[in-house]
Structure 1
């Protein structure tokens, strides 16, 4: 057993010893005063359950539900496949740009009537494919309600950055009007050395960098929900502006410490990016046992990135490299789903989805030395995809304790590239799924899952880009990229205890075809001669993955009430991700790129009864991250991210929160080969270290 395995075994053994003690105590303390209604596979949480946490928004409430984690679709293809596990008044939001976290943060906690947790397959037609969902049911009220939040983020080297968020909801009869505004701003200051060494480790040059990065943005949105006749109608829209930047100065010195040059990096510029989305749905009954819902969505954006890096060495001419990119993505989705309940014990859903996605990517680069300018060939690509997906699903209630959801999606799609890259491909995918849940008792659920998924393509990977912050690293567009396919077998067990405690474990095994990773992309001239070779996203054949997740929420009242205080809770979340794939350069087995072996999060929270005070601390750590380029091996290790906060909820104007965030330092080591990793020796080693200033944040939030 390795040192790491012994540490893991010790942590798990200690954890389960604590759980065993807690469960023993639960026999005496888990009484009838629980503020939640429990039935077969369902649990209903009302306002008194959350009083100890003094929530401001519905998001605060959901985060306190034991054993539940918000899911947002995992980046799968299609609108239907990206259904999360949260409903608002029984409906899935018909939006993709506004994530569910943002939507929940706009709902005042005072306007939530109750939250219902369902842990059964096919729990709701709106979120099929999920074995666990929550439904946030709001009160019926005619008064104006809303939330507000003001943030001040600051640090001693990058000043003060304010942001504000607000939302308002008004109900008039059958119609609800929602309006929201948001702004955000953040800065990060970092510094540290970057050492350039020979292949044998001898120092050649040291560069010391200081830089500030950040982003700013603002948005406005709204929604109307009403009834027309017997139909429910929802309309929503949003417009957002974004801007970000990165400024970095570097000073070069030789092996003796003498000044040898300097560097200036400027990334992005004053140009603001805009993105917007408009969507809606209408739901109506064709017959008492047949309900139809039609969904429409349109979104578009402009995404800009300008960068330049200028280096001036003693006795040499100034060297300047510039890049410019302008991307315009568009997405149009239409979906119709029908829910039929004519067969006893079965809930059948069928329908279809059609989608059109487009990316107009334009990239250019130029290099200048002593006034002479070299312009690189343009890299302009238009990517278009049209996708049609009929689907059929059946949720079978075998017994009150057993439910099975089985179905399939049939995808027919066409992908075309034009411009500097030309390609046209047609895809046909069958995506079946089976989910079964067994409600062992009101506190314990077991879930089994088998499915085949097709990953969403990132259209930006068909276009070329350059990262000037990494030594002008080229990410070459790959016209041959196809989506990877994943078959998953998974099992999960969830158990509730001590009123507010939970433990759950999930294990899964995946087989992957057309695995996406880094591949060599070769450029040739008209005669077939190699002119350049870069790295880019590509497919490297079949692979296997193993994933495990353990989550424990442990209230400590059973231990601390005996010494005079309560309201303390600890939580642990651990993820393990291993994989095996054949390296396209060396032919050897390895883990996938950019997939850390494990990550963990530990947190402690103490709600001091009746005082209004809450304090807590969270620590996050992960294993090193590896990446495999054709002529380079890279590893990156981050430190521990910590978050400490104190909150007081009895101010007249809301809840005041003071927070300190320690942004983890990180180190990156690059091992660069002559030729490829398979044939050449290491000729250069680059060791980079970055130390980042912490962030302080003061937040005042409230509801009306």
Structure 2
């Protein structure tokens, strides 16, 4: 929420679960047959996986991760990972019709022969049974500040023809958001110097056409082809009226617009070779963003208008080639893999100031123009073995070699060699108890935009470029415990300790500015408790409570003050509780969810601040699973009146020596949020 305009995005409250878990199987997995989900009338595999007690979908390939690398998701399909990056894991699961799902297995990630998977993993076993279509329409509105959300949803068709399986989908991920309220500006002595009233509104649409084709040349040879094309449209408007204690009234108009196309072409083929199987993967992805930000201040007296314009065009591309060769030897699964990933960012920026004649006039901004490219090569060897009926091991040794080149005003070129890998043990002392411990050495992915300069007009901040930026590395120790509670449900506990080197946060530049940079060592402890509690044992059949609670402790030295503090923008704690009741022997369901989180603030050279929403979001829903064969759902969100908050203190010089220049307190109303959705099959 800090990095996007999506104010008050609602938590996923679609999860539901049957009254009790299935009996554990002799294979060491827990198997969920289709009959287990019947009372929920699922439309697709996503509906089914979301209703597995105590299981939540995580991970998956995303556009922020360069390359494919080791698997990171906790859901696979027919024993294979998804290879598309443009479509999320949830998107791809939503396109598998529920009637095609044969079963879903919860298995030990170490035993899947997919390197990188640890802990409990959901394996969706399905087979295409013929043409099947499904659709989902999402609509809604808010009581204040926004236009109606009308055209969200997806329509997809899946089927088979001979040896060919296909899926075609047309979707639009969209939202409308906004908030209104006062901003109070205080002087160094705490006295009020200006009151501002703003009305923030915006929205986005992402129409996209996606296709997937799977061709079975034989029982042993299978190929996949993924194609997608989409467009991004985003707008954000913030009209503001400022009434100072002394001086003329000010009227500010802030407008943000962003659009651009994106596409992905990806495919893979797997076939026997020698004692094992070889999989070849190729992917090409490109996205262009055209971003414009205008800010104009006018006054109620003869004061000349003031304003700025910032324009930025980004072309971001990625090309990947990868091979994976797996074989069995010495009662273990082995895999040798190699990957070449070529990433690029080309940026053209322009900064303007409003001239006396009312026209925008360009001003020099060389640091915002240029390009960044990375050629990265990675090789790894993995070893997975069941040491006993209750103990499994996975070991991965890998290394990456990369060259990063920057063009433009701050041209630079550097090369890196970095080892990484992991060691994971899973112990299953009982059929309903899994304990996984993972130790890993990881290398992060850089954001290419941090190499180049940019500006934020409304906050009057300029972010300098940093051509010496390097990825941070970490040593990670992770514990995951999954415990079945029989008819009561299940529970999961996670503990993750990370020790970071070359950690990235705001960093002082020698010219007096600031940029994203490497600030030294840091550490973070993450504790999380989640699970499902079925309420059948206390006399409420078909009801369950899902919960997720997170607490983090962080430590990093502020490069400006030398003080110990949390990571900028990171999460300190969070709690999410969902109650759902599927009324037995009826098509009705209802429920409520409560969500609250506490993000850390940020620390920059000339200011500190924090943005958050709350204190608590409450959402109520009611659902009927058979309205002329359709599932209809109505949701009343933000029933407790959570608000949008932001505060910051700006200094007249670099911290810690600068004196307070002014401080701001933002308190905006979000208001109630109404959502309505209809889904069905054809």
TM bracket, shorter-chain basis:
over 0.9
Residue 669 of structure 1 aligns to a residue whose secondary structure is strand
Are positions 1:399 and 2:388 aligned together?
Answer: yes
Residue of structure 2 in register with 1:21 after alignment: none
Tell me if the contact between 2:119 and 2:435 (Cα under 8 Å) persists in the aligned partners. Answer: no
Residue of structure 2 in register with 1:659 after alignment: 635
From 113, 122, 131, the equivalent of 2:119 is: 131
Residue of structure 1 in register with 2:416 after alignment: 427
Tell me if the contact between 1:339 and 1:347 (Cα under 8 Å) persists in the aligned partners. Answer: yes
Residue 369 of structure 2 aligns to a residue whose secondary structure is strand
Q: TM-score, normalised by structure 2?
A: 0.92
Residue of structure 1 in register with 2:516 after alignment: 537
Residue of structure 1 in register with 2:370 after alignment: 381
After TM superposition, the structure 1 = structure 2 runs for residues 272-671 of structure 1, keeping only pairs within 5 Å, are 272-287=259-274, 289-313=275-299, 314-344=301-331, 346-371=332-357, 373=361, 375-378=363-366, 379-470=368-459, 472-499=460-487, 501-523=489-511, 533-559=512-538, 561=539, 565-639=540-614, 640-662=616-638, 664-671=642-649
Distance 2:22 2:270 in 1: 34
Residue 51 of structure 2 aligns to a residue whose secondary structure is coil
How far off is 1:499 after superposition?
3.9
Q: How many residues align?
A: 653
How far off is 1:127 after superposition?
5.2
User: Cα 1:249–1:45, aligned 2, differ >3 Å: closer, same or farther?
Assistant: same
How far off is 1:567 after superposition?
1.1
Distance 1:412 1:284 in 2: 28
Residue of structure 2 in register with 1:11 after alignment: none
Residue of structure 1 in register with 2:4 after alignment: none
How far off is 1:396 after superposition?
1.6
Distance 1:215 1:291 in 2: 43
User: Cα 1:464–1:648, aligned 2, differ >3 Å: closer, same or farther?
Assistant: same
Distance 2:404 2:42 in 1: 47
Tell me if the contact between 2:488 and 2:535 (Cα under 8 Å) persists in the aligned partners. Answer: no
Residue 113 of structure 1 aligns to a residue whose secondary structure is strand
Distance 2:342 2:661 in 1: 47
From 79, 91, 107, the equivalent of 1:90 is: 79
User: Cα 1:274–1:679, aligned 2, differ >3 Å: closer, same or farther?
Assistant: same
Tell me if the contact between 1:291 and 1:340 (Cα under 8 Å) persists in the aligned partners. Answer: yes
Between 690-699 and 323-332, report the one with greater CA deviation.
690-699
How far off is 1:332 after superposition?
0.5
Residue of structure 2 in register with 1:60 after alignment: 47
Tell me if the contact between 2:488 and 2:537 (Cα under 8 Å) persists in the aligned partners. Answer: no
Distance 2:452 2:37 in 1: 49
How far off is 1:664 after superposition?
3.9
Deviations 1:155-206 (A, max 9, x none): 3443433224111111122210111101243222311111111112101111
Tell me if the contact between 1:121 and 1:404 (Cα under 8 Å) persists in the aligned partners. Answer: no
Are positions 1:234 and 2:224 aligned together?
Answer: yes
Q: TM-score, normalised by structure 1?
A: 0.89
Distance 1:199 1:212 in 2: 31
Aligned Cα RMSD in Å? 2.0
Tell me if the contact between 1:321 and 1:365 (Cα under 8 Å) persists in the aligned partners. Answer: yes
From 673, 676, 679, the equivalent of 1:698 is: 676
Residue 509 of structure 2 aligns to a residue whose secondary structure is strand
Distance 1:190 1:331 in 2: 36
Residue 80 of structure 1 aligns to a residue whose secondary structure is coil
Q: Which runs of 5+ in 1 are unaligned?
A: 1-28, 524-532
Tell me if the contact between 2:21 and 2:489 (Cα under 8 Å) persists in the aligned partners. Answer: no
Distance 2:529 2:136 in 1: 33
How far off is 1:130 after superposition?
2.6
Distance 1:94 1:493 in 2: 28
Between 104-113 and 350-359, report the one with greater CA deviation.
104-113
Distance 1:406 1:623 in 2: 36
Between 579-588 and 442-451, report the one with greater CA deviation.
579-588
How far off is 1:217 after superposition?
2.3
How far off is 1:369 after superposition?
4.1
User: Cα 1:433–1:127, aligned 2, differ >3 Å: closer, same or farther?
Assistant: closer
Residue 96 of structure 1 aligns to a residue whose secondary structure is coil
Distance 1:78 1:161 in 2: 34
Tell me if the contact between 1:189 and 1:693 (Cα under 8 Å) persists in the aligned partners. Answer: no
